[in-house]
């Protein structure tokens, strides 16, 4: 499986995401796109063309057959956790946006598998949840 991983540009998680990808067996077999808000960049009309061009190139040049969208807690592109009433509301927004991004991706590339992940963190731990 060749993968394209779409992540937020947030510096706090770059190493953790690379470690996670390697633990999934994606070592030397994934393209990495880093755009503010990750899935949000696919939905936003100002950034959508750029985001989708990266998907196109990954499919065309590297034969990617899976896109992994990784949203993260406290994403600044959304305004951070402070704009949500609680984690459940924040999590629901990320899931809804990833589902919408999946629809847009599949309109162009119907055979691509789209995997949706949420990264959460506290002072000592970063974890990944597939949704």
The predicted-structure confidence for 47-74, as pLDDT tens digits, reads as follows 999 999 999 999 999 999 999 999 999 9
Q: Is residue 124 very low, low, confident or very high in pLDDT (cuts 50, 70, 90)?
A: confident
The four Cα atoms 31, 1, 114, 82 give a dihedral, to 10 degrees, of -50
pTM value?
Answer: 0.94
Say what percent of the chain tops pLDDT 70: 99
Does residue 21 carry a pLDDT above 80? yes
Q: How far apart are CA 62 and CA 85, in angstroms?
A: 41
Higher pLDDT, 27 or 15: 15
Does residue 122 carry a pLDDT above 80? yes
């Amino acid at each position: 499986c060749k993968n394209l991983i779409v992540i937020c540009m947030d510096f706090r998680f770059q190493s953790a995401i690379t470690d996670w990808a390697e633990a999934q067996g994606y070592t030397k077999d994934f393209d990495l796109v880093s755009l503010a808000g990750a899935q949000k960049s696919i939905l936003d009309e100002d950034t959508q063309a750029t985001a989708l061009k990266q998907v196109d190139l990954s499919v065309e040049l590297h034969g990617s057959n899976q896109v992994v969208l990784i949203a993260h807690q406290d994403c600044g592109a959304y305004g951070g956790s402070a704009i949500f009433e609680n984690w459940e509301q924040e999590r629901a927004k990320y899931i809804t946006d990833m589902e919408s991004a999946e629809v847009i991706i599949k309109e162009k590339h119907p055979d691509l598998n789209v995997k949706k992940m949420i990264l959460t963190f506290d002072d000592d731990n970063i974890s990944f949840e597939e949704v």
